[in-house]
Each structure stands twice: as structure tokens, then as C-alpha cells.
Amino acid sequence: MGGRNLNTGTKGRTKLGMALEQSAREILAHVKGDVRLPARRIVLPHEVDVTRIRIKAGMSQAEFARAFCLNPRTLQEWEQGRRRPDATTRAYLAVIAKNREAVLDALAS
């Protein structure tokens, strides 16, 4: 069995590897309480008014579903209250509500 080279020099190490090591050191310092890393708290709405988002976009159900890669039947069920979007979809819908054009641009590229 070959042993690992534990040399801490930079010879033979990639930039990615060194960046990962630095990140690990930062995490360890944060866990120990030596450093406070920036954090962002995301508050995801429990309920999303899908109909309001769609109407604000000025789109029919079919247009909205097609534009944002959603199943038309699922969209219909959300709007009729028979189903609820899961957490990931609620986050996606929140982004659509906030910056619809950015989502459309991202999906078009």
C-alpha cells in the first residue's frame, strides 16, 4: 500500500485542492467559534398564490406552464387547491414572482 504524501508544500497540488483545503480550514474555524462566516437565512413561504403569480405575468395556464417548464395539469391542480407545490417548487415560484424575466432569460439560454 502506498502512503499519502502529507507534505504541506504546494508542489503537485492543484488550485482546486488548495481552495478546498482553505475552505475546510474556514469551516473548522467557524465550528470552533474562532471565525464567523457570513450566512443567509431563507424564509420560504408556506403558501404560494400561483394564480396571482400567473395573472401578474399576464399568461394563460398553458403559456405559464410552457414558459416555466411546468406540467400544465399540475399547475391547474395548484390553482384549484387540489395539490400544493413542494418546497423546491415554491422557491422556484417565488423567484418567478420576483424576477420573471431573469428566469425566462435563464431558461432560454
Q: Give the Cβ contact number of residue 42 at 10 Å.
A: 6
Alpha helix ranges (H) inside the chain: 15-32, 50-56, 61-67, 72-79, 87-108
Asked if residue 8 belongs to a domain, the reply is no
Kindly state whether residues 82 and 62 are assigned to the same domain: yes
Torsions phi, psi for 38 (to 5 deg)? -65, 145
Mean pLDDT in order along the chain per 10 residues (109 residues): 51 88 92 88 87 97 97 98 95 95 94
- Domain of 29 in residue numbering reads as 13-40
CA distance linking residue 33 with residue 27, whole number of Å: 10
| CATH number of the domain within which 74 lies | 1.10.260.40
- Whole-number Å distance between alpha carbons of 50 and 96: 10
What integer pLDDT is reported at residue 88 of this predicted model?
94
Q: Per residue in 22-44, pLDDT tens?
A: 999 999 998 999 988 888 888 88
pLDDT of residue 3: 47
Global pTM exceeds 0.75: no
Residues 104, 57 within the same domain: yes
Q: Is residue 56 part of a domain?
A: yes
